[in-house]
């Protein structure tokens, strides 16, 4: 709709006036019969129109606040408007940054909760595995108990080595060849289990015999015949030792 200067003067409005374009201000200035040039800046024409409207009491004195007295002041107002615009832009950026920071914080919290959940699940799994291991150990113990209960062992089957050690004949390095037959006779008469013979013997061995026994690996030191043979060999009391001794004469 085209601007009607005469109609505006009949029903003036300060806010509508402040929003008038230059060409509309020119029409209004012509309607008020003001002396001006169309080539003048918009603000200068606006200032002339404001003065006339206030003098004619068409607008109140508050309209004078819309005047910009010089170009410098006009530019200052522009700078103020630009400054306000920049402030609003900064506020928008800050608001966006706050939203972004809040999003990142929520994301970090979610990730932390997820990690905590994973740890809790791992801990629960470990606890479950531990309970299963304990149940297995308990089951094994019960099985061992059941096996031991099923194997009814009489007192005659039990051999107390510590109690019988005092009955082992004393070892003498001068009569090694007679020692083993003597030991075997006692062991058989007293019904000592053969797997315990080397245990009984090592308690009385001395000198070279003790050294030989200590030097034997565990699998040989528990075999009576091997221990006997090695000690007789050390004392040169086996047939091969005799033959070697005879050859050296």
Residue 103 has pLDDT above 90, yes or no: yes
Question: pTM to 2 decimals?
Answer: 0.36
The domain limits of the chain are 5-67, 73-148, 160-247
The token pair at 47 is 């200032």
State the average pLDDT for the chain.
85
Tell me what the mean pLDDT of segment 107-115 comes to.
92
Residue 10 has pLDDT above 50, yes or no: yes
Residue 154 has pLDDT above 80, yes or no: no
Tell me what the mean pLDDT of segment 113-120 comes to.
91
pLDDT in tens, 60-81: 888 888 887 645 555 666 667 7
């Amino acid at each position: 709709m085209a601007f009607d200067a005469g109609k505006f003067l009949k029903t003036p409005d300060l806010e509508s006036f402040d929003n008038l374009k230059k060409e509309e201000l020119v029409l209004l200035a012509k309607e008020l019969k003001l002396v001006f040039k169309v080539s003048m800046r918009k603000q200068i024409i606006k200032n002339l129109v404001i003065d006339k409207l206030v003098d004619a009491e068409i607008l109140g004195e508050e309209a004078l606040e819309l005047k910009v007295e010089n170009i410098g002041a006009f530019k200052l107002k522009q700078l103020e408007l630009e400054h306000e615009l920049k402030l609003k832009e900064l506020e928008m950026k800050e608001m966006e940054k706050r939203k972004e920071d809040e999003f990142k914080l929520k994301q970090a919290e979610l990730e932390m909760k997820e990690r905590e959940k994973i740890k809790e699940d791992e801990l629960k799994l470990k606890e479950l595995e531990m309970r299963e291991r304990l149940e297995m150990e308990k089951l094994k113990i019960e099985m061992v108990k059941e096996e031991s209960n099923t194997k009814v062992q009489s007192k005659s089957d039990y051999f107390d080595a510590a109690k019988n050690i005092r009955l082992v004949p004393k070892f003498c390095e001068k009569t090694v060849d007679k020692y083993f037959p003597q030991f075997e006779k006692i062991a058989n008469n007293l019904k000592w289990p053969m797997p315990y013979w080397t245990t009984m013997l090592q308690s009385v061995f001395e000198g070279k015999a003790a050294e030989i026994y200590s030097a034997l690996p565990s699998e040989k030191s528990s075999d009576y015949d091997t221990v006997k043979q090695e000690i007789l060999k050390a004392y040169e009391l086996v047939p091969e030792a005799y033959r070697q001794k005879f050859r050296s004469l």
